[in-house]
């Protein structure tokens, strides 16, 4: 089953914050977050492992709630470069994971 | 350090034909996974190769097949192409035991 992402699309002004959610009906071992710009490859942002961890770098962070099988990606003080489609990919075992991706959240940052 | 590369960039084929797509993994990565991404959708897992053997397959028919070579590069072969096979094909390389997968730029396949 494909994870469900919300919202499907969001438009922000530069400097505003955004939260993107990813929810799965399956027990998860890991959640992977990617950003993809039109016509380009998905770029790896971060991976979170079960254990309810949080991670972050620069102004992008994420949390993983293993019990709820949910993850959230937080973008603070958004920059124009943050525009793109964000995908969560879920894995059910660690090592050589076969990711199941959500349908994506399109984020548009306007000046 | 060289990233993941794929060839060709674009390809146009006719229904019923066969196609081979190629992927060179990132230096030091020993696992390659292939994904199909239809327009407006998230990538969908096709299969994964580790130690030159298939290590898991998604919901794709047997006409999708692959190979991994001793240098960890990989091929995706699709026989009897159908119109619905039109998509962006992505390969991702990773290291066994570490979760991060890094994607190549993809091959855009159009079947007419």
Q: Nearest-CA neighbor of A104 among B109, B38, B47? A: B38
In this predicted structure, the answer to whether residue A17 has a pLDDT above a threshold of 80 is yes
B101, B47 Cβ separation under 8 angstroms: no
Average pLDDT over residues A22-46: 91
Q: Is some CB atom of chain B closer than 8 A to the CB atom of A2?
A: yes
Half-sphere exposure of B17 (CA within 13 A, CB side): 13
pLDDT in tens, A42-100: 999 988 888 766 667 778 999 998 888 899 999 999 999 999 999 999 987 766 688 99
pLDDT of residue A54: 67
Residues of chain B whose pLDDT is less than 50?
Answer: none
Partner-chain contact A89 B43, CB within 8 Å: yes
Partner-chain contact B97 A87, CB within 8 Å: no
Q: Is some CB atom of chain B closer than 8 A to the CB atom of A81?
A: no
pLDDT of residue A95: 62
Nearest-CA distance from B15 to chain A in Å?
24
Residues of B in contact with A2 (CB under 8 A): 42
The three-state DSSP-derived secondary structure of B7-36 is ECCEEEECCCCCEEEEEECCCCCCEEEEEE
> Which residue from A41, A47, A103 is facing B42, i.e. has the nearest CB?
A103
Partner-chain contact A101 B96, CB within 8 Å: no
Partner-chain contact A95 B56, CB within 8 Å: no
Residues 29-58 of A with CB under 8 A from B: 30, 32, 34, 40-44, 47, 49
pLDDT of residue B37: 96
Partner-chain contact B56 A98, CB within 8 Å: yes
pLDDT of residue A7: 97
B85 by DSSP, 3-state: which? helix
Average pLDDT over residues A16-38: 92
Interface test with A, best of B29, B31, B42 (most A CBs within 10 A): B42
């Amino acid at each position: 089953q494909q994870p469900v992402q919300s919202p499907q699309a969001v438009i922000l002004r530069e400097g505003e914050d955004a939260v993107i959610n990813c929810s799965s009906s399956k027990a998860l071992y890991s959640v992977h977050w990617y950003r993809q710009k039109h016509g380009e490859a998905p770029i790896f942002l971060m991976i979170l492992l079960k254990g309810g961890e949080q991670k972050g770098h620069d102004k992008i962070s994420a949390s993983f709630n293993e019990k709820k099988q949910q993850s959230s990606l937080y973008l603070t003080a958004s920059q124009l470069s943050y525009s793109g489609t964000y995908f969560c990919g879920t894995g059910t075992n660690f090592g050589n994971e076969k990711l199941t991706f959500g349908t994506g959240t399109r984020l548009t940052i306007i000046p | 350090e060289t990233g993941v590369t794929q060839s060709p960039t674009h390809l146009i084929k006719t229904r019923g034909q066969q196609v081979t797509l190629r992927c060179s993994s990132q230096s030091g990565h020993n696992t390659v996974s292939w994904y199909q991404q239809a327009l407006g959708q998230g990538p969908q897992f096709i299969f994964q190769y580790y130690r030159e053997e298939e290590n898991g397959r998604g919901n794709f028919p047997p006409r999708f097949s692959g190979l991994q070579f001793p240098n960890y590069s990989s091929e995706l072969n699709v026989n009897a192409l159908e119109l619905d096979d039109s998509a962006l094909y992505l390969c991702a390389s990773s290291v066994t035991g570490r979760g991060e997968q890094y994607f190549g730029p993809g091959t855009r396949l159009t079947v007419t």
